[in-house]
């Protein structure tokens, strides 16, 4: 018997294969030894098949079968038999048959496992990450990676038919000062100099447009040395694209049809296009977020007008300052059930997002208002609040009094928390939308200068350059984010393709022509040699997979992810390197 002569995989056999002689290979999923007859569930990538070891097959094979343990790798030759009616396992795809083993070869043994490989068992993540090769054997992981493969295949097929070319860009490139912290790679040949791993192939894809490729894409790794989150890893994969002779509408359309096709190909779900579009300012006002979760019906309301004449000092004080507002949000169904402690927890939550406090008024089932602060409001005002917030009996009205930026941020976070705590959000209730018209610039108090909200190559939404020069703060950008269920799936912009405008942009960002030349000279050069109007977008592949499958973290979509401290527990990286290596690079480690 030769394992390379495998005839079927472990999900293939059916009653139609009865009496066939087959060779199967795989891992021992479980052993059930009855003393006489012994059952093994044999597992490979495709599925499981029950193998029967009967004493009648001979002494030798029976004895070696008794030595089988979980996760041994074996090859068996045997005969397919239909199971009797009462022994059919309906949970198993191959449950109507079993294979009577005639020959058994142990290809590899396995030590006792550090943790069981069943799905739905919470094993501590550091153990799972250390033994990632075992964790990846679990069925749920295999499902995730098969799905990820399908998504990428669907994307490649689609973009090919749309005329996109897949072109690779360098990983060893130049450090750029804007944006995230770079991962640096020292140069041996050029002592004291460094490459950087790209945060994205941004400039290369723009250059490719100038080089005339018109439509580029790449499934590409991007690196950012910033702190991690459930949906953020130091290296992540983007579906990166750039197109020439397009405006925002063309890009929206190309992406909408791509997303639609992914849903259809990979989930068999029909989604309607075009997606909802909302401007940044509106998103911030209604949802307190630039990535609103539209599964949640409640929105934020501006109650400043209604609150003008209230005697509540906290509100009065805030309304007297510039940018001071009273914003409100309805917490539905909480009035009777939430305890004082729950309210205190929510207040602490609001404070962690920068609020000074959180005011709340319960509307009891009998319609009465209940709150420590209710005495500061007359009945008519309370009614107006209730009406504006569309709160029903049994709801709680939440208020944040602060400057606009803080108030909507806090209520945006509260809106998400209340919905998550209620536990009614369904991952497969997919709500997609575009957020458009982002601000172009934001003032950096630390650096006393403007910085680009998106990046310095983003096209301002202006008629002429004077608008930018005269009042840069109020200019919006031709930039857009794609949002799915409260997560930013991707973003992009129309780019500047004019040298003058690009130089002006650098100037506004506090970069003189000299330093702009040093940092981005190649782009400024390229822009002079026939740059077409162009724009693009990048979609976060890991996040897309996470959201489509309803996973809790992108670590479930990445085969070998890092911990929150950016280490790999399997390879134990990062690690020390030898003195010799350091010397070659001219690097000296400073003791802390």
Question: Within positions 87 to 146, which residues make up the interface with RNA, using CB under 7 A?
Answer: 87-89, 91-92, 95, 98, 112-116, 121-127, 129
Interatomic CA distance for residues 183 and 194, integer angstroms = 10
The answer to whether residue 552 forms part of the interface with RNA (CB under 7 A) is yes
Out of 7, 30, 173, 285, point to the residue binding RNA (CB under 7 A).
30
Phi-psi region of 550 (alpha: psi -120 to 50; beta: other; left: phi over 0): left
* Least distance CB 12 / RNA (angstroms): 17
* Least distance CB 240 / RNA (angstroms): 10
Q: Which residues contact 263 (CB under 8 A, 6 or more apart)?
A: 269, 270, 271, 430, 548
The answer to whether residue 180 forms part of the interface with RNA (CB under 7 A) is yes
| Window contacting RNA (CB under 7 A); options: 15-23, 227-235, 465-473, 574-582 | 227-235
H helical segments located in 120-214: 125-130, 132-135, 139-161, 202-210
Q: Which of residues 454 and 478 has its CB atom nearest to RNA in the complex?
A: 454
The answer to whether residue 54 forms part of the interface with RNA (CB under 7 A) is yes
Q: Which of residues 131 and 377 has its CB atom nearest to RNA in the complex?
A: 131
The answer to whether residue 39 forms part of the interface with RNA (CB under 7 A) is yes
* Least distance CB 158 / RNA (angstroms): 24
| Window contacting RNA (CB under 7 A); options: 210-218, 228-236, 494-502, 543-551 | 228-236
* Least distance CB 41 / RNA (angstroms): 6
Out of 2, 56, 63, 471, point to the residue binding RNA (CB under 7 A).
56
Interatomic CA distance for residues 257 and 274, integer angstroms = 9
The answer to whether residue 86 forms part of the interface with RNA (CB under 7 A) is yes
| Window contacting RNA (CB under 7 A); options: 166-174, 258-266, 446-454, 510-518 | 446-454
- Rounded to the nearest 5 degrees, what angle is found at the Cα of 486, between the Cα atoms of 438 and 259? 85
Q: Residue 296: name the closest of 405, 407, 179, 424 by CA.
A: 424
Interatomic CA distance for residues 517 and 423, integer angstroms = 53
* Least distance CB 277 / RNA (angstroms): 20
The answer to whether residue 172 forms part of the interface with RNA (CB under 7 A) is no
Burial (0-12, 13-18, 19+ Cβ within 10 Å), 555: buried
Asked whether the beta carbons of 394 and 333 are under 8 A apart, the reply is yes
Out of 3, 451, 462, 501, point to the residue binding RNA (CB under 7 A).
451
Out of 169, 202, 304, 371, point to the residue binding RNA (CB under 7 A).
202
The answer to whether residue 564 forms part of the interface with RNA (CB under 7 A) is yes
Out of 32, 143, 193, 317, point to the residue binding RNA (CB under 7 A).
32
Interatomic CA distance for residues 406 and 325, integer angstroms = 10
* Least distance CB 260 / RNA (angstroms): 26
Strand partners, 166: 217
Residue 483 to residues 435, 547, 558, Cα–Cα distance (Å): 7, 11, 21
* Least distance CB 329 / RNA (angstroms): 17
Give me the long-range contacts of 507-514 (CB less than 8 A, separation at least 24).
508/441, 508/450, 508/468, 508/469, 508/472, 509/178, 509/441, 509/449, 509/450, 509/451, 509/452, 509/456, 510/447, 510/449, 510/450
Out of 147, 171, 353, 430, point to the residue binding RNA (CB under 7 A).
353
Q: Which of residues 18 and 226 has its CB atom nearest to RNA in the complex?
A: 226
The answer to whether residue 41 forms part of the interface with RNA (CB under 7 A) is yes
Q: Which of residues 90 and 320 has its CB atom nearest to RNA in the complex?
A: 90
H/E element, 261: helix 248-262
Q: Which of residues 23 and 554 has its CB atom nearest to RNA in the complex?
A: 554
Site map 497..536 versus RNA, x via CB under 7 A: ----------------------------------------
Q: Which of residues 20 and 150 has its CB atom nearest to RNA in the complex?
A: 20
Q: Which of residues 126 and 157 has its CB atom nearest to RNA in the complex?
A: 126
Q: Which residues contact 328 (CB under 8 A, 6 or more apart)?
A: 300, 301, 303, 385, 388, 389, 397, 398, 399, 400, 411
SS (H, E, C) 387-435: HHHCCCCCCEEEEEEEEHHHHHHHHHHHHHHHHHHHCCCCCCCCCEEEE
3-state helix, strand, coil split of the chain in percent (to 5) is 35, 25, 40
> Helix or strand or coil: residue 307?
coil
Out of 169, 200, 304, 332, point to the residue binding RNA (CB under 7 A).
200
Q: Which of residues 32 and 149 has its CB atom nearest to RNA in the complex?
A: 32
Taking CB under 7 A as the criterion, which residues in 263-302 touch RNA?
A: none
Interatomic CA distance for residues 249 and 487, integer angstroms = 22
Q: Which of residues 178 and 421 has its CB atom nearest to RNA in the complex?
A: 178
* Least distance CB 313 / RNA (angstroms): 27
Interatomic CA distance for residues 401 and 433, integer angstroms = 29
* Least distance CB 434 / RNA (angstroms): 17
The answer to whether residue 11 forms part of the interface with RNA (CB under 7 A) is no
- 341 CB neighbour count, 10 Å cutoff: 8
Taking CB under 7 A as the criterion, which residues in 398-437 touch RNA?
A: 409, 413
* Least distance CB 442 / RNA (angstroms): 7
Asked whether the beta carbons of 500 and 516 are under 8 A apart, the reply is no
* Least distance CB 31 / RNA (angstroms): 8
Site map 358..397 versus RNA, x via CB under 7 A: ----------------------------------------
Out of 148, 301, 455, 478, point to the residue binding RNA (CB under 7 A).
455
Asked whether the beta carbons of 492 and 479 are under 8 A apart, the reply is yes
**How many residues lie near RNA (CB under 7 A)?**
73
H/E element, 523: helix 513-527
Out of 215, 408, 415, 454, point to the residue binding RNA (CB under 7 A).
454
């Amino acid at each position: 018997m030769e394992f390379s002569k495998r005839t079927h995989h472990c999900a293939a056999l059916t009653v139609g294969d009865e009496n066939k002689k087959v060779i199967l290979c795989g891992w021992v999923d479980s052993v059930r030894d009855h003393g006489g007859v012994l059952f093994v569930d044999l597992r490979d990538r495709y599925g499981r098949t029950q193998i029967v070891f009967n004493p009648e097959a001979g002494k030798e094979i029976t004895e070696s079968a008794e030595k089988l343990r979980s996760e041994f790798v074996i090859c068996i030759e045997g005969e397919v038999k239909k199971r009797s009616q009462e022994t059919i396992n309906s949970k198993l795809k191959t449950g109507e048959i079993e294979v009577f083993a005639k020959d058994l070869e142990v290809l590899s043994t396995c030590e006792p496992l550090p943790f069981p490989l069943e799905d739905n068992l919470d094993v501590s993540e550091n153990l799972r990450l250390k033994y990632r090769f075992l964790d990846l054997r679990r069925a749920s992981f295999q499902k995730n990676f098969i799905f990820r493969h399908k998504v990428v295949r669907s994307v490649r097929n689609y973009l090919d038919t749309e005329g996109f070319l897949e072109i690779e860009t360098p990983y060893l490139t130049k450090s750029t000062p804007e944006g995230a912290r770079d991962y640096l790679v020292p140069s041996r040949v050029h002592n004291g100099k460094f490459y950087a791993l790209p945060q994205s192939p941004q400039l290369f894809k723009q250059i490719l447009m100038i080089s005339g490729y018109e439509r580029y894409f790449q499934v590409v790794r991007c690196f950012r040395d910033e702190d991690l989150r459930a949906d953020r890893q130091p290296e992540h994969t983007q579906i990166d694209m750039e197109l020439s002779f397009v405006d925002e509408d063309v890009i929206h359309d190309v992406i909408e049809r791509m997303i639609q096709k992914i849903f259809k190909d990979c989930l068999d779900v029909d989604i309607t296009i075009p997606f909802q579009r909302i401007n940044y300012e509106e998103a911030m006002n209604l949802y307190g977020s630039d990535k609103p979760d539209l599964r949640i019906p409640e929105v934020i309301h501006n109650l400043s007008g209604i609150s003008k004449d209230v005697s509540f000092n906290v509100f009065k004080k805030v309304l007297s300052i510039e940018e001071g507002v009273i914003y409100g949000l309805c917490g539905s169904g909480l009035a009777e059930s939430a305890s004082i402690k729950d309210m205190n927890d929510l207040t602490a939550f609001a404070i962690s997002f920068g609020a000074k406090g959180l005011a709340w008024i319960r509307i009891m089932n009998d319609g009465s208002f209940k709150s420590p602060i209710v005495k500061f409001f007359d009945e008519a005002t309370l009614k107006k609040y209730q009406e504006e917030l569309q709160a029903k009996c049994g709801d709680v009205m939440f208020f944040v009094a602060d400057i606009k930026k803080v108030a909507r941020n806090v209520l945006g976070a509260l809106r998400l928390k209340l919905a998550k705590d209620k536990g009614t959000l369904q991952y497969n209730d997919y709500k997609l939308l575009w957020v458009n018209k982002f601000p172009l610039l934001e003032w950096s108090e630390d650096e006393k200068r403007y910085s680009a909200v998106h990046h310095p190559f983003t096209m301002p939404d202006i008629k002429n350059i004077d608008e930018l020069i005269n009042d840069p703060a109020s200019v919006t950008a031709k930039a857009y984010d794609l949002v799915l269920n409260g997560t930013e799936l991707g973003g992009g912009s129309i780019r500047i393709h004019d040298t003058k405008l690009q130089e002006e942009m650098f100037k506004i960002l506090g970069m003189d022509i000299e330093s702009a030349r040093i940092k981005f000279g190649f782009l400024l050069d390229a822009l002079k040699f026939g740059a077409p109007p162009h724009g693009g977008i990048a979609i976060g592949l890991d996040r897309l997979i996470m959201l489509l499958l309803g996973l809790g973290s992108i670590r479930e979509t990445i085969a070998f992810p890092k911990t929150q401290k950016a280490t790999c527990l399997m390879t134990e990286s990062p690690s020390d390197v030898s003195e010799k290596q350091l010397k070659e690079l001219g690097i000296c480690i400073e003791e802390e």
